[in-house]
Amino acid sequence: MLPARHRSMVLMKKITRGTHRKVNYVSKLFQPQNVVPKDNKVKNEDCLSKSQKLMLDLGVIRQASAGAFHMLPLSERSLQKLISIVDDEMSKIDAQKLMLPLLTPGELWKTTGRWEDVGEELFTLKDRHDKEFVLSPTHEEAVTDLIASVPQLSYRQFPLRLYQVSNKFRDEMRPRFGLLRGKEFIMKDLYTFDVSQEAASETYKAVSEAYENIFRRIGIRYLRVSAAAGIMGGSISHEYHFLATTGETQLLTCESCGYGTSAENSVTHDCPACGHSFLQCRPGIEVGHTFLLGTKYSLPLKAKFTTATGKSDFLQMGSYGLGMTRILAASVEVLSLPDQIRWPIALAPYTVCIIPPKEGSKESAVAHLAEELYHKLNSVDCFRDDLIIDNRCNMTIGKRLFEAQKVGYPLIVVIGRKALQPTPELEVYHTLMDKETSINKTDMIPYLKECLLNK
Ligand SMILES: [Zn+2]
């Protein structure tokens, strides 16, 4: 018998280890799926985009009202992965994260003229004192007023790059395509302040590179095209698009030099970059937009800085948006099969799903291999807390594999018949490549790592 104090320490260690050994189980997952009777297809199926239908049917999102959606645990995990990528790339260009109120005083929007310009798409409301507010679709006014309200900053304190990830609102006439065009959506919006046009152009270049990195890490083929500044104002503007048949923007692209522009922005059909005589027209989903704004907001809202000679001058601004919920939906839209979600591996809610044997089957003798593999993988950085076990062992392996492929887990490991061999093998389904391989149990971790590297 150990002394009492020692005993309690051992117990403490066990408990601590216990909390680290938390396992994600499909049986615990809040994933309310739509059960659609086979003979009763959804009536308005034609109005749904592929991503909307799949995400609703498979319990990834749930509609709250027309154009507003609950982000359920699977989509929330995916969103958090996207936010981590964005945070990482933003920190590389010294952008600082903050959070502005969703309510912006209406008077600021009246000062810049956008209260009228945006018109009926702008969600407005009054408080009990009759004060008007905008439920913000974007925060140029709010952030510019913030900078104008603080003790005047010196030229030494620039460039200043501030961003947030938050909910945005737009009173859409016809919300559609789920997260692609809603009344409420999540955006990452970055606002930059510089002391000269040259410095603002440098910032524009730096942010554009960060955006390219973000899209490369997401892993979906994208197009950056020159765009019209529209009601945002300013001089230079670019849009980032995923190419998809449901895309609402027509893009003109040059096969010869890679130049692209939005069709509404085009005055010629010869390529303005290389003179090639044919531009191809294809639909795209806009997922990002960048603007060099000049003093469009700093002038009316009086956002100034102190120059090296002690004078005051207006700040040069830029505004850079990424539609976060839109990127998720557009990724699913681009990659998915008609009846199976496909996530880019970087944004999959869980990278690995492990399926243990059916209870009562011969293979159930090696059911422990599931949790054994889970804990081994969980100790590897690139898999930590990115794993789930489908422990609904009253269901056949086939049924659970079918569901795991529908939800789109990129790597599915099945503890099947071959796990009973003297040298146990497990089956790995590589969802994105539609490939199946049997892997020796001891080679499993290096193999799965390799799969991640070659995504
Ligand atoms: Zn060209």
Q: Which residues surround ligand 1, an ion (CB under 5 A)?
A: 254, 256-257, 259, 271, 273-274, 276
Q: Provide the CATH number for the domain around residue 237.
A: 3.30.930.10
Tell me the pLDDT of the chain averaged across its residues.
91
What distance in Å separates the CA atoms of residue 172 and residue 65, rounded to the nearest whole number? 13
Whether residues 94 and 238 fall in one domain: yes
294 pLDDT higher than 90: yes
Query: How close is the Cα of 70 to the center of ligand 1, in Å?
Result: 43
Q: 271 C-alpha vs ligand 1 centroid, how far in Å?
A: 5
Of 318, 244, 215, 221, the closest CA to residue 49 belongs to 244
267 falls in which pLDDT band (50, 70, 90)?
low
Residues 372 and 311 in one domain: no
| Same domain, yes or no: 244 and 389 | no
Measure 327 CA to ligand 1 centroid, in angstroms.
27
Same-domain check for residues 354 and 424: yes
Shared domain for 288 and 236, answered yes or no, is yes
Q: Are residues 365 and 275 in the same domain?
A: no
Domain boundary among 301, 333, 365: 333
Residue 343 phi, psi dihedral angles, 5° rounding: -100, 150
Residue 24 placed within a domain: no
pLDDT at 73 over 80: yes
Residue 251 lies in a domain: yes
- With respect to residue 43, please indicate whether it lies within any of the assigned structural domains: no
pLDDT tens readout for residues 168-197: 999 998 888 888 889 999 999 999 999 999
User: Average of pLDDT values for 96-103?
Assistant: 98
Rounded to whole angstroms, the Cα distance separating 382 from 84 reads: 14
CA of 230 to the centre of ligand 1 (A): 24
Q: Which residues lie closer than 8 Å to 227 by C-beta, 6 or more apart?
A: 237, 238, 239, 261, 262, 265, 289
Rounded Cα–Cα distance for residues 5 and 239 (Å): 65
367 and 325 in a single domain? The answer is no
Q: In this structure, are 294 and 387 located in the same domain?
A: no
Would 123 be classed as within a structural domain? yes
The predicted model gives 148-152 an average pLDDT of: 98
Torsion of CA 133, 135, 141, 146, to 10 degrees: 80
Q: Ligand 1 centre and the CA of 270: distance in Å?
A: 8
The pLDDT value given to residue 48: 81
211 CA → ligand 1 middle, Å: 22
What is the pairing mode between strands 103-105 and 132-135? antiparallel
Phi, psi of 451 (to 5 degrees): -60, -40
**CA-to-CA distance for 177 and 396, rounded, in angstroms?**
34
pLDDT band for position 271 (50/70/90)? confident
272 within domain boundaries: yes
So what's the pLDDT on residue 229?
Answer: 65
**How many domains does the chain divide into?**
2
279 CA to centre of ligand 1 in angstroms: 8
CATH at 434? 3.40.50.800
What is the chain's alpha carbon radius of gyration, rounded to the nearest angstrom?
Answer: 26
Q: Are residues 307 and 444 in the same domain?
A: no
In a domain, residue 172? The reply is yes
Q: How confident is the model at residue 13 (pLDDT cuts 50, 70, 90)?
A: very low
**pLDDT of the residue at 302:** 98
pLDDT at position 392, please? 98
Would you state the pLDDT for residue 18? Answer: 45
Pick the range with the lowest mean pLDDT from 80-89, 270-279, 369-378. Answer: 270-279
Query: Which positions ≥6 away from 431 have C-beta within 8 Å?
Result: 340, 342, 405, 408, 409, 410, 411, 412
Find the mean pLDDT for residues 133-144: 98
**DSSP 8-state code for residue 235:** S
Task: Note whether 331 and 240 are within 8 A (CB).
Answer: no
Q: 411-444 pLDDT, tens per residue?
A: 999 999 999 999 999 999 999 988 999 999 999 9
pLDDT at 133: 98
Using the mean position of ligand 1's atoms as its centre, give its distance from the Cα of residue 255 in Å: 7
**278 CA distance to ligand 1 centroid (A)?**
8
Residue ending a domain, among 333, 361, 391, is 333
Instruction: Supply the pLDDT for residue 266.
Output: 66
Q: Kindly tell me if the per-residue pLDDT of 11 is higher than 50.
A: no
Residues 319 and 354 in one domain: no
Residue 20 has pLDDT above 60, yes or no: no
Determine, yes or no, domain membership for 361. Answer: yes
**E strands present in 324-443:** 352-355, 387-389, 411-414, 425-430, 435-440
The rounded Å distance from CA 125 to ligand 1 centre is 47
Domain-located, residue 132: yes
Q: How far is the CA of 121 from the centre of ligand 1 (A)?
A: 36
Residue 12 pLDDT exceeds 90: no
Same domain? 268 vs 368: no
Structural domain for 449, as ranges: 350-453
Same domain, 109 and 257: yes
Q: Ligand 1: distance of its center to the CA of 445 in Å?
A: 46
Residue 104 has pLDDT above 80, yes or no: yes
- The band of 19, judged by pLDDT with boundaries at 50, 70 and 90, is very low
Residue the block writes with tokens 């109120």? 101
